[in-house]
Structure formats: structure tokens, C-alpha cells
Amino acid sequence: MTIVACCQLAPRVGDLAGNVELSTDAIATAVTNGADVVVLPELVTSGYVFESIEEAEAVAVTLDHPVFDGWATASAGARTPACVIGGFCERGRDGQLYNSLVVVDGGEVAAVYRKTHLWDRERLWFSPGDALPPVVATAAGRIGVAICYDIEFPELTRHLALAGADLVVVPVNWPLVPRPAHEHPPEVVIAMAAARVNRMAIACCDRTGTERAVTWTAGTVIVDAEGWLVAAAADQSDVVTADVDLTRSRNKQLTDLSHALDDRRRDLYGLASSLPGTGSPSSTPRSTRSRLADSARRSPTSLPGAMS
């Protein structure tokens, strides 16, 4: 069994130093309590609701920033280091900003992933990643990653399943949206469905609090390989922990004659995947983003319920 701990935190937008301390302390506490895998929210070092690209640039960090050494140290505890996955605002070597996550394993940075599906106003500040998310072999198991809106694209979670992920870890910022009484947040339904159709565990670590008029769902969940919730946030300031049997993610046999992956009709999907999309391109040219950013400065909190 693998102990997964999702630390549902409330980072402050623009407070890099405070957020580094908050996240590092959370890792240390989770490891002290026995966690093998520690998950932090999306953009935990920077906050989310930026008012300008200059504000995002002020809290962007490169991969040699001390925060990641601090996370590695905090992950060690008194035993084999835990694997830590957390979101950050990255300044790339190309000078662009990315909504990224880092995988810290074995006391060092093992992988970095840049969000490929940017949601709404994120494209005012960030460039989209141009590589599929990795699956990292860790002491805890094979861990795939994604960031928030990414998991709404079944092609991406299927890629992670085909790449052999035992667990998909997803730092998220889910804005609170209206829903019928007694229903799960829609993003949780998506995570449960993705876990079930791919027969792999998924852990989504949300944030909490209210940031510049955006209230967050605090919807952190851990889902098993059959798509059932094994742990979920009970309140706003919750660390969601569960023992997860990751070996179950390796068995895709549904019945004697049915297999979750082998039954795909790839002879038909080739035609379907060649059909053109109906929306605008996912990546916005830099010049266009600059013009949109000028508009954003005049209206920094439009569509507050439409961020993910």
C-alpha cells in the first residue's frame, strides 16, 4: 500500500516567500505522518488570480530556485524520501512563463511538466507546454502527472494509462461553481470517470480560500483504480490522506473476455482523430496574448467563476 497525502492549502497570490514556507511546512508534516507521496495544489508557490503579466513574472521561478531544494529536504524525514508533486509558476530558459509542476523524488528534481491545456485567462500569462506529461518511476510506483484542466481531455489521461501510470497526480485550482444539491463538483466526476475508464488511481489536490473574489472548491479527492472515492476533503483546511493499492492499476482485465485497453478499436479511431476540431487553437500567439493582457489589466477579475 502507498500512503498518498494531498495538502489542500491556501496560497496567497504574489507572496512567493510565504507560499514557499507554507508548502514546505506542509510537506514536512505529511512526511512525518507517514506519507509516501505528497501532492500540493496548482501554482502553490505563486497564487492564481494574477492582475497582470508583470505580477506573474514577479513570482516566477526557475528550476534552480531554492524552493525545490527545500521541498527535497522536507520530503526526507527520517526514512526513504517521499515523492513530492507541486505546482509553480515557471520562468523558462526561453523567457516565457509556464504553469508547471515539478516531481521531486529521491531528494532531487526528477521531472518537470508544463500544463498543455490552458484555461481561460491563464493564456494571458502563460505559454502552453509542448510535451505530453511524463510517467515517472518512483519508489512509490509509476506516477503520471497532469495539471487541472488537463484531465478534462480524455486523450491525455488515456496517454498516461498507456504509458503505465499506477497513479496520476493532479495539482488543481478548482473554482467553486453552482451544482445541484448533494452532487459532487463536476471536476470530481471527471476524475472518477477518468480513473474508472483507465483503471488507474487518481489524486487531485485542490486549493482553498478566496482569492480576489474567486472562491475555490476545496474539492481534493483521491480516487481508486475502479473510480471510487477513497478519500475526500471534509473542510476547507484539510489534508486528504489514503492508503492506495497501486498494484490494482496494473490489472486492466475487466472480465475473462474484456480488457480496458486491449478492447480499443484503434482501426476506427484513426478516422475519428483526423476530424477537424471546432474551437479556436489551444495555443494563443504571443502577440495576441499581449493584446489580451492589456485588456486584462483593465478588467482583472472578469469571469471569476471560470478559472481552472
Q: pLDDT, tens digit, for every residue of 90-123?
A: 999 999 999 999 999 988 999 999 999 999 999 9
* CATH number of the domain encompassing residue 141: 3.60.110.10
CA distances from 130 to 35, 136, 184 (A): 32, 18, 32
Q: Which domain holds residue 202?
A: 2-298
Confidence of residue 294 (pLDDT cuts 50, 70, 90): low
The Cα diameter of the chain in Å comes to: 60
Q: What is the mean pLDDT of the chain?
A: 90
Confidence of residue 273 (pLDDT cuts 50, 70, 90): low
pTM of this prediction exceeds 0.85: yes
208 assigned to some structural domain: yes
Number of neighbours of residue 277 by Cβ within 10 angstroms: 7
Q: What is the DSSP letter of 27?
A: H
124 assigned to some structural domain: yes
Report pLDDT for 271: 65
25 assigned to some structural domain: yes
Phi, psi for 163 (deg, rounded to 5):
-80, 0
303 assigned to some structural domain: no
Report pLDDT for 151: 97
Write the single-letter amino acid at 126: F
38 assigned to some structural domain: yes
Q: How far apart are CA 174 and CA 152, in angstroms?
A: 12
Rounded mean pLDDT of 166-185? 96
Is the pLDDT confidence value at 216 over 60?
yes
Is the pLDDT confidence value at 287 over 50?
no
Question: pLDDT > 90: what percent of the chain?
Answer: 82
Confidence of residue 165 (pLDDT cuts 50, 70, 90): very high
90 assigned to some structural domain: yes
21 assigned to some structural domain: yes
Number of domains in the chain: 1
Confidence of residue 238 (pLDDT cuts 50, 70, 90): confident
Report pLDDT for 227: 97
22 assigned to some structural domain: yes
Report pLDDT for 237: 74
Confidence of residue 262 (pLDDT cuts 50, 70, 90): very high
Report pLDDT for 274: 63
Is the pLDDT confidence value at 78 over 70?
no
Cell (9 digits) for 79: 526514512
Report pLDDT for 280: 46
